[in-house]
Structure 1
Amino acid sequence: MTPILVKPSLWLEKGIQIENVNSVNLFKFTDELQARMQELVDKKTADSLTPEEAAEMEAIGELIVIVTYMNGMIANEVQNSQETETWEQRLEKN
């Protein structure tokens, strides 16, 4: 039996959007992708998930990990840039 493979990139165009949160642009999932993931979770809970749907759920899960990681990197970079002052900025304050 050939394993079913669904790539996370399947959802890039219609599943991810950019949203401004506290003056920072972050990646967010569209309502469509969130609804699809919930549908798959519900089917898994009901033990009625097909192998194709299980592969799709795994791919969406991978996408969640990737987007969460990228948003964490963005938030960390923003925090570091706000905390880091150049020596010129420090001199201007004094």
Structure 2
Amino acid sequence: MVQPSFWVESGITVQKVRNLNLFKFTNELQARLEELLALHKAGLLNSEQEAELAGITELDRIFTMLNARLIAES
């Protein structure tokens, strides 16, 4: 798996939503995720792409959890 921290500097942004600062993927990282998911559905991922998809998916899970906690605590 590509470590989720690999994208923290270049693939993550903080966006203000209803007075909360939430973690979001940049447009570029979101597009890459969608591209990898399409390849996965078509059964065309190579091993490097599988590792990349696993890392991005894990990062998505982390930020979903963090954003949910931020929302719950507001």
> What count of residue pairs does the alignment treat as equivalent?
74
In the TM superposition, structure 1's runs of 4+ consecutive aligned residues that sit over 4 Å from their partners are none
Unaligned runs of 5+ in 2: none
Q: 1:76: Cα distance to partner? A: 1.1
Higher RCO (C-alpha 8 Å, min separation 6): 2
What SS does the corresponding residue of 2:15 show, helix, strand or coil? strand
TM-score normalised over the length of structure 1: 0.75
Q: Partner residue of 2:2?
A: 6
Secondary structure of 2:38's counterpart equals helix
Unaligned runs of 5+ in 1: 79-94
CA distance in 2, matches of 1:18, 1:70: 12
Secondary structure of the equivalent of 1:49? coil
CA RMSD of aligned residues (A): 0.8
The residue aligned with 2:67 is 71
User: Shift of the alpha carbon at 1:15?
Assistant: 1.0
- Give 2:67's aligned amino acid: N
* Match in the other structure for 1:52: 48
In our comparison, the structure showing a higher alpha carbon Rg is: 1
Q: 1:22 aligned to 2:18?
A: yes
